[in-house]
Amino acid sequence: MEKVAPLPAAQAGPETVLAPWSEERRLLAAIRGGDRSAAEELVERTYSAVYASLYRLCADGDLAADLTQETYRKAWEALDGFDGRSQFFTWLYRIAYTTFLNHIRRPRRTTSLDDAPEMPDETPAADQVLSKREESERLRIAVMNLPDDLRFTVAAHFWGGLPVKEIARLENITGVAIRKRLRKAFSILESSLDEEPR
């Protein structure tokens, strides 16, 4: 893991993760028809984003890879139940997030949130890198300590790269409600980050 990939939402925007409806439908129709290459194409298009969002959640490269694989396994099993109300990646993100939650709730395989994340090497000075690493870890822990609904919204929007509209569709609530959640999450995050020594 030497190269650094940007978050889908951060650099390329959700368009790259969320394929156009027509394209996505074409692929899904092909998969339902038994076309294996269509499934592989779908994997190629989405797995980096799934991995990235899981990495942001667990801060462990190997674990994120395992969870990504697990996510796709579950997705193939549940593909029959995908009703197309939301986009495929949104649906896949929900599976990934649930897979992560299931993992951290399993007692014997719990990953401590206090463990230092495996961050990639960077060229800047060591103390600078350390400071950045600490800061982002503090932020991750603060996000993980948010209430369930707020945590999912923040993670899906900022780490999963999902637009507000898609999250709203997934959660069966309005976009306004999602924005409210984000505002509330920001205020909690701010206060929790202020509490900790800077």
Q: Which residues of this chain interact with other proteins, rule CB under 8 A? A: 1-7, 9-10, 31-36, 39-40, 43-44, 47-48, 51-52, 55-56, 61-62, 64-65, 68-69, 72-73, 76, 79-80, 118-120, 122, 135-136, 139, 143, 154, 158-159, 186-187, 189-190, 193
- Closest by CA to 48, choosing from 73, 99, 98, 12, is 12
At 108 the three-state DSSP class reads helix
Q: Which is nearer to other proteins, 108 or 125 (CB)?
A: 125
Please, what is the minimum distance in Å from the beta carbon of residue 112 to other proteins? 20
Residue 100 or 107 with smaller CB distance to other proteins? 100
Smaller CB separation from other proteins, 12 or 108: 12
Nearest to other proteins of 21, 186 (CB atom): 186
Maximum alpha-carbon separation in the chain: 56
End-to-end CA distance of the chain: 29
Decide if 167 contacts 157 (C-beta within 8 A): yes
Cα distance between residue 74 and residue 38, in whole Å: 17
Do residues 102 and 134 touch, judged by C-beta distance below 8 A? no
Tell me the closest approach of the beta carbon of residue 160 to other proteins, in angstroms: 11
Q: How far is the CB of 82 from other proteins (least distance, A)?
A: 10
Question: In the bound complex, what is the minimum distance in angstroms from residue 120's beta carbon to other proteins?
Answer: 5
Q: Is residue 74 a contact partner of residue 68, using CB atoms and an 8 Å limit?
A: no
